[in-house]
Amino acid sequence: MAAQRRSLMQSHQSWTDDLPLCQLCGVGSAPNCTYGPDGKGTQSHPNEDGHFRFSTECCFLYGVFNGYDGSRVASFVSQCLTAELLLGQLSAGHTDADVRRILSQAFDVVEKSYFETIDDALAEKANLQTQLPEGVYLSAQTQKMAERLKALEQEVSGGATAIVALILNNKLYIANVGTNRALLCKTTADGQNQVIQIGRAHTTDNEDELTRLAQLGLDPVRLRQTGLISGQSSTRRIGDYKVKFNYTDIDVLSAAKHKPIISEPEIHGGQSLEGVTGFLLLMSEGLIKALESAHGPEQVNQEIVAMVAAELALQCSLEAAAQSVVERVKRLHHDAYVSGRQRAPHCARHEDMTLLIRVINYPLADGSLTPTQGGRIYPVSVPYSNHQSTSKTSVMLSLVMPAQGTLTNGSNTASTLEGDTPTAGQSPTATLQSTNTHTQSSSSSSGDGSLFRQRGSQAAQPDETGRVPPYVDFSQFYRLWGMDHSDGQGLSGEMGPQ
């Protein structure tokens, strides 16, 4: 069995290649990058992230995996976890308790299976370590042993964190191990986006994790001060034999009564999706950290949801929307570094980034039609900024204008559009509202997290005519609006505020 699993890991093909991909999902990604003094980026190591997105007759299954010290574990988990969940283990007759039990067992089986694949390498490594003599001088034979030992260490090292989403019986279940993140965005009746973060990262900043580790005999104060454990911030991870089998050799973990770093998932759900309109986001730690580095951690959830909503209103495919969001985060991170300002020292590098978007009864843009009411989409260029941002990047949002009548609240984007249909000499108005909550409470983002900002830190001064310089570019909007509503009166499309 161990030999079969080793063969699976070494193969470039997988039985999961034959599983149907979910068409309600899109994935975007970008490799790690380290910037030089000139602002040019180079990739430090091969991409270590992984993901899956499958649909079956009874359920939908999604996952994002953040590997480290190689992609071996992330790749193994993404293949084997699917086998533990989509080969008849789940059915419509299962209760919430049944589903949680099956998810937990799947993670346990997958990690045990992974360690079986490296049993022989670990045994050979231990044997070589006993034979390798201590001292500075190495003969030709011992040098070969040292090289083999190094190769074995690379073969068995590494681990992964995972965030997995399961939709069964129209209920959502989230299983989290580590530092990735799941966000559920619900569009409310009044057109706002309510953002719910499902679960928290398993780090020493998590009070529940500190309590768990303290019960094993570890010092929570010291753990919090240490932060990183064997090079990683996660207190739950899959693989990583050093912290699983040799934790007594790690100073900060040595006092633990039992294995302190575990692969047991924290499971949330099932949460009913009946009547829900919105989208689910699964994000790797690299994406989260890149945006936090560029803008600070306070508004990350609102910002990523606003970006996703804007791209869903513009793009005609989920794949394009997901990739555009990742590219936008990458650009914001790079711009923060080259600006040389407050956030620059935090942005010298970023890790691999992966974003999975799964829409829930959420229509997409389709050519000239809106995702909701069937009117025209008019692009508006908005200077996107944050109070901690070191640069301003243009964000393309959309004004959704019905074919006739008054402007209605759009439920498909991060904005609530209010006001009457503009006529010549009248400008449309738009406001953006968003909510961010770890519970069901909502708060407006019209404060520090708002997308609409003045260009400077102080209010713009009126010119000689008494007008304030515009900071939203409506030129393309007016051109298209004029063309659509000229009514044969010879309007040139240059309509604008008079």
* Helix, strand, or coil (residue 212): helix
What is the reported pLDDT for 438? Answer: 40
What is the reported pLDDT for 19? Answer: 86
**Class of CATH domain 25-360:** alpha beta
Residues in the chain with pLDDT values less than 70: 1-16, 134-138, 366-474, 477, 481, 484-498
Q: What is the number of other CB atoms lying within 10 angstroms of the CB of residue 30?
A: 23
CA dihedral of 30, 50, 153, 225, whole degrees rounded to 10: 70
Sequence-distant (≥ 6) Cβ neighbours of residue 64 within 8 angstroms: 49, 50, 51, 162, 163, 180, 282, 283, 284, 354, 356
What is the reported pLDDT for 485? Answer: 66
Going from N- to C-terminal start, the domains of the chain cover 25-360
* Helix, strand, or coil (residue 271): strand
What is the reported pLDDT for 191? Answer: 81
What is the reported pLDDT for 481? Answer: 66
What is the reported pLDDT for 260? Answer: 96
What is the reported pLDDT for 2? Answer: 47
User: What's this model's pTM, rounded to 2 decimal places?
Assistant: 0.72
pLDDT digits (tens, 9 = 90+) for 225-234: 998 999 999 9
What is the reported pLDDT for 313? Answer: 92
Sequence-distant (≥ 6) Cβ neighbours of residue 21 within 8 angstroms: 53, 54, 55
